[in-house]
A and B are shown apart, each in its own frame.
Chain A
Amino acid sequence: MRRRTAVPAVAVGVTLGMVLAACGGGSDEGGDNQSGKAEAKQNAAVGQIFKPSTKKGGTIRYANADDFDSVDPGDTYYGYAWDFARYYCRSLTMFDTKPGDEGNKIVPDLAESLGTPSDGGKTWTYKLRSGVKFEDGTPITSKDVKYAVERSLDKSVLKNGPTYFNDLLDLQGYPGAFKDPSPDKLGLKAIETPDDQTIVFHLKEAFGGFDYIAMLPATCPVPRDKDTGSKYKEHVVSSGPYMFDTYEAGKSFSLKRNPNWDPATDPHRAALPDRIEMQLHVNANDIDNRLMSGDLDVDVQSIGVQAATQAQILNDPNLAKNTDNPTLARTWFAAINPDVAPLDNIDCRKAVLYAADHDGYLRAFGGSVGGELPTSLLPPSIPGWQDIDLYNFKEHKTGDPEAAKQSLQACGQPNGFSTNLAYRSDRPTEKAAAEALQASLAKVGIKATLKGYPSGDYFALYAGKPSYAKSNNLGIMLHGWGADWPDGYGFLSQLVDSRTIRESGGNYNLTVKDPEIDKLLDEARTKTSIEAQQPFWAQIDKKVMEDATILPGVWAKVLLYRPTRLTNVYVNEGLGGYYDFVQLGVQE
């Protein structure tokens, strides 16, 4: 899933800060004891539940600085939307609703247990729980899950969602549910439904991490007779504890309790509030203000506190105690392009890695609040991560000019060389990082000329288009990547697999072209259990660092503000650093 990155806020900064300081922050603590003593402090909701509660009632108020790509579970690719979808839809599996490492584990949701692999991992079978119904009382069958996956295959009508099912299933030319010629629209042979409770997936090749795929909202059941295609999002039929009440496209929507949700079939969801309200397109600075004043409960995108208010909040102990700073499954980094001379020589690339000011890069992204100093590509929250520090970043936090110069000698450029450094010009953090990098490289004679590009077309037309990058000498390209889910495959598959690189642009793998890495990926895929796959991720990470085609910049963290009204709140590591929305409660 994709976490939206922080949209640079308008620099209201100092004055706004002064005004806010003059007015004080949000309301102080008072009457917060739900169960046990709940003393607010920083990171109170990271690793454990803050203000655990079973008390039902109230309305929880969400705001979104933008709009969902879609609330249709078959048409969405934002991490926060996947988190939010757990209110109204149940997929076959889910990340456990627990804090800490427990949240990284997959548990069955609509299914009664995790998938059963067969045929060497090419076939996966799930049995659905009984007694689960749609919001209108109709029982949910395996055919509803099959139909849901089939419709999500059509990337023209439902264009936003991920393509894992398109890539993994043995489609044999199936055109998607909307163009399905069979009268019941269930013509996909790669998914079988031998009975109403059983569903079987046939993959093209073995894939050990299929339980992650089964977690995707695309497996949330959709009743075929209620599907309206691109208009389905106007009323998504619920299989979860809440159902849609009002929906005003682009403006707001709300959910109320689903009378046909049976908690006995759903051991994982707390479903505490009676009502959920979502406002769309709310000014990002306004969201921060409202969180602090108590007029808003959750910033659904969880971008984090805007830069303008961060310093002010952290310096005020009364506000700082209401913050959480979880780690994300995201790395900011610089891709080093082996297609651009002299970076086609591995020693020249290593020179860049040695010379870089890692501390400066991190500071550009907000320092210790913005993240951790990385030593490899894979972020530590990915299970299977190992500490890899091939270039001694930890010892040389501001760079190692000596080692860099040695590498330059080795690659035949003793006095350095010139190249272009691409970054997204509308992102101030990226610009600051580019400048820090430029300065540190200059110390060893590597002259990097900054080239800013608009983020909208960065991957489609510029850095992500191999021919453009090559002809414009983009030797270093700033990048950032978050896993769709905290798993090595979810993080690495689109980032380091050389076979995903296409000439037409739109690539996310900008620089990693190593057949050995491709082989490791393939091997990992065939393992039939998630645990068996995990050792591969560290191996791939090590190889990427050995190839010196990636300079890690930041292992990202996010600074969240936790309104005092929230109860039962914690960060779900599996969802990737968001609060576990479906567990939240509100106190009046």
Chain B
Amino acid sequence: MTPNESTPTAVGTPTAFLDVRDLRVHFPTDDGLVRAVDGVSFTVDRGETLGIVGESGSGKSVTSLAIMGLNRGRGPVHTSGEVWLDGEELIGASAESVRRLRGKKMAMIFQDPLTAMHPHYTVGHQIIEAYRIHNPVSKAVARKHAIDMLGRVGIPRPERRVDDYPHQFSGGMRQRAMIAMALSCDPELLIADEPTTALDVTVQAQILDLMRNLQEEFNSALIIITHDLGVVAELADRIMVMYAGRCIEYGTAVDVFERPEHPYTWGLLGSVPRLDRATTARLIPIQGTPPSLIQLPSGCSFHPRCPYEPRTNGRSRTQMPELVAVSGTHQVRCHLPVAERRSIWEKEIRAKLAGGEAS
């Protein structure tokens, strides 16, 4: 049985700190309409961490940019839906009011700190700038704050390093500096877009630790965007898996790691290199490539790559599956019957992932 009712989009005043409802971001281009984000809904509370996972082109970054209002004025874009931040709706708000929130109430850190920071200004200058735009204080006070922040993110000798340029930091230190900059105004929402992708594996862990500690300290809501499930395994309270601009699985970390129900999620889990598996074991890649966001496949966007597509009797090819709750916290968008999905998971996938030989 396949419950066809879609989970209704929440109505009425939001209760969560961040409440995203049916967010759509479309870009009209000469080649056609790019549906980067096509109806995404989720919530994040303060103190909570959401992991948004997906391949490149899944729409995860565009989602976060839409929350920050960074898509506005960047050429033609159609944004619809609602983004409620602490009771204030952002999509319909003026650009100026959203700008005032950026850096202050919500902040973002980016993938490559070397290109994401201005090469000609010192790190201290950039942090001071971020601070003074929202807090009218003197330069001296702001500088002290910057040194303080650098210390809190674990940079040694911050009073010296505050006058260094970004290129004078190592990769990990640089990312810490960017985090310091993002947190300088005490934002209640922090979005981290691929925060560790550009870093060594050993440094990755440190940064993730840092982020967790800071979240606890500031009690902020944290969104981590990544293509790597391993990154969110430790940190995320809940995980949303995106594919082709839509959410295809949404649930707690336990839901997604212990009882994933979408073939794409299974594929993602299989492609995570794990230390507890035999090194000779091959990764299980997902065959095929992500679809064009202009010409999405008919029906289920994932069907061309789905090994279980034949089991849907052609419905995947014609009908877009709805996002359906399978438990109080867990939602999945798939035509395969629930029971069948669970059975596939238990019998076929889980074993493979637990250290057996790859087929």
Is there direct touching of A and B in the complex, by C-beta distance under 8 Å? no
- Residues of chain A whose beta carbon lies under 8 Å from any beta carbon of chain B: none
- Residues of chain B whose beta carbon lies under 8 Å from any beta carbon of chain A: none
